Amino acid sequence: MSVPADQQTFDREALDPHCLSDAEADRLLAGAPWTRFLVVGDSIAEGLGDRSEGYRELAWAQRVSRALERQQPDGFAFLNLGLRDLVISEVKEQQLAPAVDFRPDLALVIAGGNDILRPVFDNGEQVQADFDEIVTTLQGTGAEVLTCTMFDITQSPIVPDGYKAQLGERLSELAGRLTAVATERGTMHVDFHTHPAAGDAGIYSKDVRHCNHRGHAIAASGAIRRLGERLGNTL
């Protein structure tokens, strides 16, 4: 009898120092109370990305969801509203109402990446305001909110030199604005912008925009570590 691909043990993932095993994730999430997990955002939330040899073919939100479901196997619900190509105002306009209707007790919010890819990025204040509205609306429903910044891909050799400076400035501004909201609103926040794996070309897809499945595994591990911190659990 063959073992489903997503349940196999993959050598590279098991040996990756940035990745958690299922057993480690279970220890960090032991006693997790969350039963309704929501994700809102753009293509990063949706989970786009290339395959990575030796890593499970799972997007990071799926990985987090499966780890949470192991703690609440009866009645767990997961909804990912993430959709590619949306700027943050579109995320707010299209996803906030169904997000509230879902009645989450845990929500992951990741957006703003498409805003900084516009020819001119001059709406940073509005991006921050929209992010704040998404976060506070979800908190207003009683959900705990998990936020994060994006990996700084400009630290890797995959980005052509001619684009590094401008993109790096935009990523830094976005990270600062998202972090400011997280600090003010008391979210569970994960700083991927300065993550040690950000400079590793091996975590990114060929489109030079998204993580591959190794990157997804690392991101999921970071999110689970933060949830474990919230629960007071350590490895």
The per-residue pLDDT for range 2-61, each reduced to its tens digit, is: 434 444 556 899 999 999 999 999 999 999 999 999 999 999 999 999 999 999 999 999
- Nearest residue to 46 (alpha-carbon basis) of 94, 9, 8: 94
Residue-averaged pLDDT of the chain: 95
Q: Supply the pLDDT for residue 11.
A: 83
Tell me the domain boundaries of the chain.
31-231
Distances 226 to 12, 45, 90 between C-alpha atoms, Å: 23, 17, 27
Q: Are the beta carbons of 24 and 11 closer than 8 angstroms?
A: no
Over 70: is that where the pLDDT of 198 sits?
yes
* CA gap 66, 77 in Å, rounded: 10
In our burial notation (b when 16+ CB lie closer than 10 A, e otherwise), range 150-177 reads bbbbbbbebbeeeeeeebeebbbbbbeb
With respect to CATH, is domain 31-231 assigned 3.40.50.620? no
The model's pTM is 0.94
